[in-house]
Amino acid sequence: MLLLNIQSSPRGAKSALIAVTNAFLDAYQALHSNATIDTLNVWEENLPDFDQEAIGAKYKGVNKEPMDEAETAVWDKIQELAVRFEQADRIVLGVPMWNFAYPYKLKQLIDLACQRNMLFTYDGTEYGPLLKTPRAFVVYARGGTYAEDSPTPGYKARILKFPERCSESLPPSLSMQNPPMPEIVSMHCSRVSKEQDGVPVASIP
């Protein structure tokens, strides 16, 4: 059982999000002795920019055309990232709220890894998934409280929409919009209010 642990906080030992995610992973490994974890921290992965070379590689890769050295290097990294998704039996995703959205480095990973005919299909009309991952667990974390009695209650609606907005931005292979997508269990926690909702961590199979 291989868990792909995608972490998008750069804050290491200071990160509440990473602490919560690691608590989940520890509990998971205690229940599933055969579980191994592949951690992909988007800040430590030396992700290439999605620039002219990357876009050239993407189109040449799809069309199986020869690439120059720079394009080959980006395409090799893209394939390496896609394989990590393809091999995962489960995906764990840690998402910090940054300005009511998710960090740009996570989008960079998505733009690199989510390639047609690697993670999803597109026949000109419909998108379809290629990942076999049946379940994913997403931990969302934010620093603020937006309760009615807080100084910023007006943002509560945006907070509640945060997971939905994140999943809408994800490509079809990862989003929950198009069945048969992975079942996504989410946990939304705030450092300030210590709120938690979702299901108890240990019950995630």
Ligand X SMILES: Cc1cc2nc3c(=O)[nH]c(=O)nc-3n(C[C@H](O)[C@H](O)[C@H](O)COP(=O)(O)O)c2cc1C
Nearest to 188 by CA among 99, 103, 105, 96: 96
- CB 103, min distance to ligand X, A: 7
User: Facing residues of 4 across strands?
Assistant: 38, 91
Residues within window 162-201 making contact with ligand X, judged by CB under 6 A: 191
Q: Which stretch binds ligand X (CB under 6 A): 43-51, 60-68, 137-145, 174-182?
A: 137-145
Q: Which is nearer to ligand X, 13 or 124 (CB)?
A: 13
Q: Which stretch binds ligand X (CB under 6 A): 33-41, 124-132, 136-144, 180-188?
A: 136-144
- CB 15, min distance to ligand X, A: 3
Please report whether residue 142 would count as binding ligand X according to CB under 6 A: yes
Q: Which residue has the tokens 């764990």?
A: 92
The answer to whether the CB of 94 falls within 8 A of the CB of 17 is yes
Residues within window 69-108 making contact with ligand X, judged by CB under 6 A: 96-100
Please report whether residue 147 would count as binding ligand X according to CB under 6 A: no
Q: How far apart are the C-alpha atoms of 175 and 75, rounded to whole Å?
A: 24
Q: Which is nearer to ligand X, 141 or 181 (CB)?
A: 141
Q: Which is nearer to ligand X, 59 or 100 (CB)?
A: 100
The answer to whether the CB of 16 falls within 8 A of the CB of 196 is no
The answer to whether the CB of 185 falls within 8 A of the CB of 93 is no
Q: Which stretch binds ligand X (CB under 6 A): 10-18, 35-43, 54-62, 121-129?
A: 10-18
Q: Which stretch binds ligand X (CB under 6 A): 14-22, 23-31, 64-72, 107-115?
A: 14-22
Please report whether residue 40 would count as binding ligand X according to CB under 6 A: no
Binding residues for ligand X, total number by CB under 6 A: 16
- CB 143, min distance to ligand X, A: 3
The contact set with ligand X (CB under 6 A) reads: 9, 11, 15-18, 96-100, 141-144, 191
